[in-house]
Amino acid sequence: MNKKLTLNVNEEIIDFAHRYSKKTNQSISHIVEKYLKRLKQDIDQEELSPETSELYGILENTNVIDKKEMRKKLYEKSIN
């Protein structure tokens, strides 16, 4: 369900919003909604699940080999 939202914004920003809206063929409401959804998504991603939190940083002090080195080792194993 959509509801109205009233904003107080600097006149310069309002002018920019109108120009950007015309340039991109999007309503200002749509632009603001997309921006707010993006902010919400960023915040939601910051909140890790307990399982992810438990694993977070587990390889921090581990020396992880790069792709080329890993391919070389796998190739060597496959020919032996």
Q: What digits encode the pLDDT tens for the residues 24-63?
A: 999 999 999 999 999 988 887 777 778 877 887 787 888 8
**Dist CA 63 CA 69 (whole Å):** 12
Q: Judge whether 3 lies within some domain.
A: no
Q: What is the pTM of this model?
A: 0.55
When the pLDDT of each residue in the chain is averaged and rounded to a whole number, the result is 88
Say if 2 falls within a structural domain.
no
Residue 1, in any domain of the structure: no
Count CA atoms within 13 Å of residue 3 on its CB side: 2
Portion of the chain with pLDDT greater than 70, in percent: 100
Residue 16 dihedral angles phi and psi, to the nearest 5° = -60, -45
45 within a domain of the structure (yes/no): yes
Residue 79: per-residue pLDDT: 86
Give the chain's domain count.
Answer: 1
Answer whether residue 6 is part of any domain: no
